[in-house]
Amino acid sequence: MPKIADARVLILATDGFEQSELEVPRDRLREAGATVELASPDGNAIRGWQDGDWGQVVEADLALSSADASDYDALVLPGGQLNPDKLRTEAGAVDLVRRFHDGGKIVAAICHGPWLLVEADVVRGRKVTSYKSIRTDLVNAGGDWSDRQVVIDGPLVTSRSPEDLDAFCNAIVAGLEGGGGQG
């Protein structure tokens, strides 16, 4: 696993992402020295969701179809209700999640982001957490769900909500530095 300064991280999102769940990890990982890129379904800018209404626009770096898991060390999946619900209907997004997972790379999902993990069928037998309203979805998909700030199961990192962003970001950075461990 590369040191954080050599790490390349992809964030996958679309309209309706929880503003802080995209921006905080992006900014923290960049501050730590990682190269961070954002993929949206069509490569166009996307609009966040913040405080019960539409948030700010964020520019994408590439289209989902151009994203190759072999080019990155980690994948970050922000939540928000709309964002992962839209992405889990995109075959390319689900396939990308599966390719990161199957490649043993860090896959970090927060809030409703684990819906994509369910759709990619990568939670079976894994320890996970999420926003409480999708707990049953993760359990029904075979996940071992617990109500904790962050849960680390190998390269899989999951977290509950914006209140847990510090723990979430710390777990991603630790994983990229090679000091993952269990959370």
Q: What's the number of domains the chain is made of? A: 1
**Cα torsion at 108, 109, 110, 113 (round to 10°)?**
160
Contact 106, 74 (CB under 8 A): yes
Asked if the model's pLDDT at residue 1 lies above 60, the reply is no
Q: What is the tens place of the pLDDT at every residue in 159-168?
A: 999 999 999 9
Boundaries of domain holding 55: 4-177
| 78: in domain | yes
pLDDT digits (tens, 9 = 90+) for 2-50: 579 899 999 999 999 999 999 999 999 999 999 999 999 999 999 999 9
Examine residue 170 and state whether it is found in any structural domain, yes or no: yes
101 is catalytic: no
**Whole-structure pTM value:** 0.96
Number of alpha carbons in the 13 Å side-chain half-sphere of residue 84: 26
CATH of the domain at 112: 3.40.50.880
Q: Is residue 116 part of a domain?
A: yes
What's residue 178's pLDDT?
A: 87
Choice among 28, 98, 105, 112 that is catalytic? 112
Look at residue 63 and tell me if it is in a domain.
Answer: yes
